[in-house]
Amino acid sequence: MTDEDRSNLRDLHAGFALIGLLMTTKGGIVEDVAITAYRFADAMQEARDQHSVGIVSVKRQTKKEKANDPQ
């Protein structure tokens, strides 16, 4: 996984955490909620890093790649 992939995954985790926080937070300062979301994201990244497998990503093939695919 590249550094850019890790950054994107961290942002995704923060987005999931932010949704949960906003659904359960009554009032509060938006900046505090965003900071807390990234704390949750960092915790999710650490838990994920403890497993050797990780997340499988599926990339779309271009038309050229499909044409050259031996299947």
List, for residues 11-69, the tens digit of each pLDDT value: 999 999 988 888 887 766 666 888 999 999 999 888 888 876 655 555 666 777 778 87
Q: Could you write out the three-class secondary structure of 40-52?
A: HHHHHHHHHHCCC
Residue range(s) defining the domain that contains residue 15 = 3-52
> What pLDDT sits at residue 12?
92
Phi and psi at residue 3, to the nearest 5°:
-60, -35
Alpha carbon distance 22, 67 (integer Å): 46
Whole-model pTM? 0.61
Is residue 70 one of the residues assigned to a domain? no
> What pLDDT sits at residue 62?
76
> What pLDDT sits at residue 58?
54
Is residue 61 one of the residues assigned to a domain? no
> What pLDDT sits at residue 13?
92
Domain count, the chain: 1
Is residue 62 one of the residues assigned to a domain? no
Is residue 42 one of the residues assigned to a domain? yes
